[in-house]
Structure 1
Amino acid sequence: MKVGIIGFGKTGRAVASVLLESKKTSLQWVIRQSKQLEHRSVPEFLGVEADDPGIIHSKDEYSIVELLDRYPVDVIVDFSSEQGLDYYAEEAAKRGITIVSAVSQYPDERINQLHQLAESTCVLHSPNITIGINFLILAAKILKNIAPYTDIDVIEEHFKAKSEVSGTAKVIARELDLAEDTIKSVRAGGIVGVHEILFGFPFQTVRLKHESITREAFGNGILFAIENLKDKPKGFYSMEGLLLPFFKLEEPDSSLLIKSNNLEQR
Structure 2
Amino acid sequence: MKVGLIGFGKAGKAVANVILQSNEYSLEWVLRQSTILEHRHVPEFLGIDSKEPGLIFSTSSIEIEELLSKHPVDIIIDFSSSNGIYSYGKAAASRKIIIISAISHYDEDEKQFLSELSSKTIVFWSPNISLGVNYLMFAAKLLKKIAPWVDIEIIEEHFKGKPGVSGTAIKLAKELDLEETEISSIRAGGIVSKHEIIFGFPYQTVRLIHEAISREAFGNGVLFVADNLADKKEGFYTFEDLLSPYFTN
Q: Same fold (TM over 0.5)?
A: yes
What is the deviation of 1:242? 0.5
- Structure 1 stretch displaced more, 44-53 or 81-90: 81-90
Separation of aligned partners in 1, 2:65 and 2:161? 40
CA contact (8 A) 1:135 1:240 kept: no
2:216 aligns with 216
| 1:175-214 aligned within 5 A | 175-214=175-214
| C-alpha distance in 1 between matches for 2:189 and 2:94 | 46
Unaligned runs of 5+ in 2: none
Q: Which residue number in structure 2 is paired with residue 118 of structure 1?
A: 118
- Preserved CA contact (<8 Å) 2:41 2:53: yes
User: In 2, distance between residues paired with 1:188 and 1:98?
Assistant: 36
Query: How many Å separate the matches in 1 of 2:199 and 2:48?
Result: 42
Find the aligned partners of 1:8 and 1:186 in 2 and give their Cα distance. Answer: 25
TM superposition score normalised by structure 2: 0.96
Q: Equivalents in 2 of 1:158, 1:34: separation in Å?
A: 25
Q: Which runs of 4 or more aligned residues in structure 1 lie more than 4 Å from their structure 2 counterparts after TM superposition?
A: 160-163
Match of 2:158 in 1: 158
Q: Is the 8 A contact 1:123 1:237 kept in 2?
A: yes
Q: Which residue of 2 aligns with 1:238?
A: 238
Shift of 1:243: 1.0
Alpha-carbon distance between aligned partners in 2 of 1:90 and 1:236, rounded to the nearest angstrom: 15
- Measured at CA, do residues 94 and 177 of structure 1 come closer, stay the same or move farther in structure 2, by a change above 3 Å? same
For 2:101, the equivalent position in structure 1 comes to 101
Q: Take 1:241 and 1:191, find their aligned partners in 2: how far apart are those partners? A: 29
% identical aligned pairs: 57
Q: CA deviation at 1:156?
A: 1.6
Task: Answer with 228-237 or 81-90: which moved more.
Answer: 81-90
Please state how far the C-alpha of 1:69 moved relative to its aligned partner: 1.1
CA contact (8 A) 1:132 1:210 kept: yes
Per the TM alignment, residue 165 of structure 1 is displaced from its structure 2 partner at its CA by: 2.8
**CA distance in 1 between partners of 2:188 and 2:33 (Å):** 32
Q: Deviations over 1:3-52 (max 9, x none)?
A: 00011111101000000001110000000001111100000000111111
1:59–1:218 Cα change, 3 Å? same
Change (3 A) 1:68 1:159: closer
The CA deviation at 1:213 is 0.6
Contact 1:3/1:26 (8 A) holds in 2: yes
Which residue number corresponds to residue 169 of structure 2? 169
Matching residue of 2:134: 134
- SS where residue 91 of structure 1 aligns? helix
Q: Distance in 1 between matches of 2:89 and 2:161?
A: 33
Does residue 25 of structure 2 align to residue 31 of structure 1? Answer: no
Cα deviation code 1:195-247 (max 9, x no counterpart): 11111222432211001111111000100010100021010000121011111
Number of residue pairs aligned between Structure 1 and Structure 2: 249
Amino acid paired to 1:194: K
